[in-house]
Structure 1
Amino acid sequence: MNSRKLLITHPLHSSLLEKIQSTFSDWKIIHALTKDDWKEHLIDSEIIVGWKSSFDLESIIQNDQLKWIQTWSAGVNSLPLDQLSKKNIYITSANGVHSYPISETIFALLLGLTRNIHTYVRNQQTKKWDGTDIKLEAHKKTIGIIGVGAIGLETAKIAKAFGMHVIGVRNSRKATDYVDELYTSDQLNEVLPICDYVVVTLPLTDDTYHLFQKEQFQQMKKSAFFINIGRGEIVKENDLIDALTSGEILGAGLDVFETEPLHQSSPLWDLENVIITPHTSGSTEHYSSRVIEEIFLLNANHYLKEETLPLNLVDYQKGY
């Protein structure tokens, strides 16, 4: 009888591999980091840890052994969800891994824009001493967090340390810590006019695609900053550019874009009221250990007992 097989496609420290082998003691563990190494195992692995865009989809679809995919990202919109759902394959995301680094990036962007740090960094390159355009502060302001999941909650927690009024937008209006007011997504346009900062932490779904376009930016204060660390396609980028250049909003901090890498011809590069980061808000030294120890192995204990996976199980209907 062949051993059950687990395929891992991301680099892992030997200590993490040992923990996986200990949990799956009688399984064959394949640690393959290149296409040439993993392609032969796509056809018969029961569990795949790490989804790669270069996977041969046909091999995945033909694999009748495949039961579970653990992704390396919080979003799963890049996976062939329609095909995987037909095979009833479990998908678990890396949601929750990012709450510390992304919330730190959100406040780096928020404070950088507020305190004009991005301008001073540019001035430093030309040895220009100019402190004339500095007046704003973040304390006591109103922040709207669009998407109150793990990242949104950690952002709200930090916001309360600044004495900020925190408004959350999500599907449920069930009260939660650190959020002063909760609205549902169909009330978005009611929230935008009262926010000094609008922070998008949503996943990309059919419902969130181009959720922010001309109408939403027109609802925002002219003194408001827009921050997006969710997915680029949530924003109609040309409408955002128009809002930034026309003065409909004061500035933006952007980690994600409709097309990545951001094309060199994009006007966003040259706008002085924009801070751009290259989709790195979730990057952290602890990423791999959190995915394996805090999500995958905890779920694995239930999987091996043929129990429901308790953490980050993707709902195919919702798309996250």
Structure 2
Amino acid sequence: MNKRKIIISQDLNEQLLNQIKELIPEWNIIIGRNPAIWKNHIHEAEIIAGWKAEMKQPIIQGEGKNLKWVQTWSAGVNALPLDILEKDHVQITTANGVHAYPISETIFGLLLAFTRKIDTYVKQQQKKNWHHAHMKQEIHNKTIGIIGVGKIGKETAKIAKAFGMTVIGVRQSGMPEEFVDEMFKQDQLQDVLPKCDYVIVTLPLTSKTRNMFGTDEFNSMKSSAFFINVGRGPIVIETDLIQALDAHQIAGAGLDVFETEPLPETSRLWEMDNVIMTPHTSGNTEFYDQRLIEEIFIPNLKNYLSGESPEINLLNYKKGY
């Protein structure tokens, strides 16, 4: 009898791998980041933990007929062939929640860098230029708008309260949330933007969020407001953002995600003084694998082995998240 097979396309430490082995001692575990390790096993894999771009074509070609469940190593699923996986009734769970601490830290790193001119002073240090750069702002008692109050948004709201900020949230359901003073639905975005000193985008990319931010939205923001996007690049029309920054319709932008990644060298964003960029690394953390395995994958695996559906971060195909 053939052993049931799982592909883990990551390099896990021994302690985490042993936790998985204890649950499925009779399974054939194929593990490693190198595609050469697992590419010939896709057609037999029942579970794939960690989606890689090299898996897409075999799945499209029908090699995943034995596949029942995919656990992604990211919060987003837009890189997966969702139409085929949905047709084959493959369950998908995401890494949503793993990023709440590191991304919220990045958000406030960007906010503080802009408000306290840390980025300006770093540039001045390189030139040995001693100048106050007209620094005077602070984030205490300002208003922050969090567009997408999921796990990252909730953690961001909690930290904002430590700074005495007024927190406005936007989520599809409009349901209230702890640490959020006022919640709005997505179709009320234009009512929210004029109130905010900081606009933070933490949304997933779906058909409803694609191109959500363009000229109209940037025109609705305060000229003193800062825009932060740690969600997905295509949520923002990049040319409209550049135009808004050029025209000083907004004060600045902190960007971790972009329409095209890596960001092309020809992009004007590289050289704009009112932009701080990170290379899609805001979710990186030393605890990434541990949180994903212990808090998401293992509880889901226990459910799966008992004949139930994985519950944590189970994708709703209709919603796209």
State the TM bucket, normalised to the shorter chain.
over 0.9
Q: Equivalents in 2 of 1:59, 1:229: separation in Å?
A: 29
Alpha-carbon distance between aligned partners in 1 of 2:310 and 2:165, rounded to the nearest angstrom? 36
How many Å separate the matches in 1 of 2:64 and 2:135?
59
| Residue in structure 1 matched with residue 34 of structure 2 by the alignment | 34
Q: 1:303 & 1:136 partners in 2: Cα distance?
A: 51
Residue 10 of structure 1 corresponds to which residue in structure 2? 10
Contact 2:42 2:63 in 1 (8 A): no
Q: Counterpart in 2 of 1:91?
A: 92
User: CA 1:150/1:59 → structure 2, altered by over 3 Å: closer, same or farther?
Assistant: closer
Identify unmatched segments of 5+ residues in structure 2. none
Q: Which SS does the other structure have where 1:303 is aligned?
A: helix
**CA deviation profile, 1:154-193 (whole Å, cap 9, x unmatched):** 0000000000000000012222110000000000000000
Q: Which runs of 4+ in 1 moved over 6 A?
A: none
Give the unaligned 5+ runs of structure 1. Answer: none
Q: Is the 8 A contact 2:197 2:222 kept in 1?
A: yes
Q: Matched residues in 2 for 1:172 and 1:145: separation?
A: 14
Query: Which amino acid in structure 1 is aligned with residue 58 of structure 2?
Result: E
The 5 A counterparts of 1:1-320 are 1-55=1-55, 57-59=57-59, 61-320=62-321
| Cα distance, 1:103 vs structure 2 | 0.1
DSSP 3-state at the match of 1:282: coil
Give the structure-2-normalised TM-score: 0.98
Counterparts of 2:205 and 2:96 in 1: how far apart (Å)? 13
CA distance in 2, matches of 1:132, 1:59: 54
1:175-213 deviations in whole A, cap 9, x for unaligned? 211000000000000000000000000000011001000
Q: TM-score if structure 1 supplies the norm length? A: 0.98
Deviation for aligned residue 1:36 = 1.5
Q: What's the RMSD between the two structures over aligned residues?
A: 1.0
SS for the counterpart of 2:30 is strand
CA offset at residue 132 of structure 1? 3.6
Moved more, 180-189 or 36-45: 36-45
Name the aligned partner's letter for residue 76 of structure 2.
G
Separation of aligned partners in 2, 1:190 and 1:56: 40
Provide the rounded CA distance (Å) in 1 between the counterparts of 2:204 and 2:74.
11
CA contact (8 A) 1:39 1:56 kept: no
Q: Give the AA of the match of 1:199.
A: I
Report the 3-state secondary structure (helix = DSSP H, G, I; strand = E; otherwise coil) of the residue aligned with 1:62.
coil
- Structure 1 window deviating more from structure 2 (61-70 vs 109-118): it is 61-70
Report if aligned partners of 1:204, 1:234 keep a CA contact under 8 Å in 2: yes
CA distance in 2, matches of 1:131, 1:35: 52
Shift of 1:59: 4.7
Q: Distance in 1 between matches of 2:121 and 2:44?
A: 55
User: C-alpha separation between the residues in 1 aligned to 2:147 and 2:177?
Assistant: 14
